[in-house]
Amino acid sequence: MTPGWLRALLVLLGIAALFAVPRLTGNEYVLALGVSFATFSVLSGGLNLVYGYTGLLSFAQVGFFGIGGYTAALLVTEGGWPLWAGAASGGMLAALVGLVIGYSSLRLSRHAFAIVSLSFAFLCMIVARDWVSLTRGAMGIPGLPVPVLDLPGLPWRLSRPADFYYLLMGFAVIAQAVIYVVVTSRLGRAMQAVKLNEALAQSQGIDPLRYKLLALALSALLAGIVGGFFVFYLTIVDPSIFDFYYTETMLIMVIIWGPGSFWGVLGASAVLAALPDLLRFTTDLRMVLYGAVLIAAMLVFPGGVGGWLRRRHLRRWRRPSLAAP
């Protein structure tokens, strides 16, 4: 195991390197990859909290992402709110919605939750398309203005691609730090207990519903905020923000290395955020390819590649002396 200070140093160097990128290159393509990585890392990190740690298969994350996007867009354009307040409100609304769908379905079963979360994601898209007076329907809200973040002392106009790179990367670092603190605390340990054996956890005084709702609400909050920032980067929000593409990408990021592994999911997010562009020649086939990889991963590595390595590691403990009693 690497010592703690070395790990902290590596993390700080990594963050410094990420923030140095826009100074080293003005290449918009590279910056776009960075924005994509930052955004997806927050989405997959939240899904990892819900699925990888707490064991709830959730298709609702894209709904939280889009709710954050629409809320921020409407509050900024119609209400004249500053971007940070719009995104924060989007995150809080998403968390509230997450609590409502979680509370109503989780008391039944995990399977009920999976189905409800899937229905919820589709419902979001339908509402975005058909509640025209609020969302402006299928056309969405194009031409979102250049936002201004009122930092103390200097207003920051996010007019260049590098500005959004800094904004989203900065938020991603904060979000990952929050997720890291939770999963390495004993709350994360209790979430794992709920995933691994819910009845046992309950017999030990753990209230499974509380931990499930905590994971869900926190992931919704982060997804909603990042959605609020992301739509201003796109300069448009329309019903495609609820596209299944986001769900599939998040799922593959969480599943491929190992659900319940903080660094594994972060690494997979980095690789897979770059991958679509490496696979540019197969734009039409990309989702098919993702689906195939997802199925193959489930069949060959049910616990992800990391889970497979962990199981190999178990053999170290299985010495002959243990087999006796």
Partner 1 sequence: MTATRALLEVRGLTKRYLGVTAVDDVAFEVEAGAVVGLIGPNGSGKSTIVDCLSGFQPADEGRWLLDGHELTGRPGHLIARAGLTRTFQTVRAYDELTLLDNLRVAAQESDGVGWLQALGRGARLRAAEAASAARGRDLLATVGLAEYAAAPAAILSYGQRKLLAIAAAMMARPKLVVLDEPVAGVNPTMIRRVEQVIHQLNAEGVTLVIVEHNVDFIMSLCRRVIVLVAGRKIADGPPSLIRSDPRVLAAYLGPARAAELGHGHP
Q: How many whole angstroms separate alpha carbon 250 and alpha carbon 48?
A: 9
Interface pick for partner 1 out of 24, 199, 299, 300 (rule CB under 8 A): 199
Q: How many whole angstroms separate alpha carbon 93 and alpha carbon 168?
A: 20
Q: Which stretch binds partner 1 (CB under 8 A): 195-203, 232-240, 246-254, 288-296?
A: 195-203
* Residue 154, token pair as written in the block: 């200097």
Binding mask 212-241 for partner 1 (x = CB under 8 A): --x---------------------------
Nearer to partner 1, 2 or 203 (CB): 203
- Asked if residue 225 lies in contact with residue 87, where contact means CB atoms within 8 angstroms, the answer is yes
- Asked if residue 176 lies in contact with residue 41, where contact means CB atoms within 8 angstroms, the answer is yes
Interface pick for partner 1 out of 21, 96, 99, 187 (rule CB under 8 A): 187
Min dist CB 260 to partner 1, Å, is: 8
Say whether residue 206 binds partner 1 (CB under 8 A).
yes
**DSSP symbol at 53:** I
Nearer to partner 1, 7 or 157 (CB): 7
**Cα dihedral sign, 162-246-218-83:** positive
Backbone angles phi, psi at 151, to 5 degrees: -75, 150
Say whether residue 108 binds partner 1 (CB under 8 A).
no
Q: How many whole angstroms separate alpha carbon 40 and alpha carbon 154?
A: 29
Interface pick for partner 1 out of 97, 106, 193, 273 (rule CB under 8 A): 193
Say whether residue 204 binds partner 1 (CB under 8 A).
yes
Backbone angles phi, psi at 158, to 5 degrees: -90, 80
The residues, any chain, with a CB within 8 Å of residue 61's CB and separated by 6 or more, are 43, 46, 47, 50, 219, 220, 223, 246, 247, 250
Interface pick for partner 1 out of 30, 182, 305, 309 (rule CB under 8 A): 182
Nearer to partner 1, 105 or 249 (CB): 105
Min dist CB 310 to partner 1, Å, is: 8
How much is the CA Rg of the chain, to the nearest whole Å? 20
Q: Which stretch binds partner 1 (CB under 8 A): 2-10, 150-158, 186-194, 235-243?
A: 186-194
Say whether residue 310 binds partner 1 (CB under 8 A).
yes
Say whether residue 192 binds partner 1 (CB under 8 A).
yes
Interaction with partner 1 in 259-278: which residues (CB under 8 A)?
260
Say whether residue 189 binds partner 1 (CB under 8 A).
yes
Say whether residue 320 binds partner 1 (CB under 8 A).
no
The residues, any chain, with a CB within 8 Å of residue 266's CB and separated by 6 or more, are 41, 45, 176
Q: How many whole angstroms separate alpha carbon 223 and alpha carbon 70?
A: 12
Nearer to partner 1, 115 or 206 (CB): 206
Q: How many whole angstroms separate alpha carbon 54 and alpha carbon 106?
A: 12
Say whether residue 99 binds partner 1 (CB under 8 A).
no
Min dist CB 1 to partner 1, Å, is: 12
Say whether residue 196 binds partner 1 (CB under 8 A).
yes
Nearer to partner 1, 286 or 310 (CB): 310
Say whether residue 207 binds partner 1 (CB under 8 A).
yes
CA-based nearest residue to 60, from 108, 118, 100: 118
| 203 half-sphere exposure, CB direction, 13 A CA radius | 4
Q: Which residues are near partner 1 by CB under 8 A?
A: 181-182, 185-187, 189-190, 192-193, 196-197, 199-208, 214, 260, 310, 314, 317-318, 322-323, 325
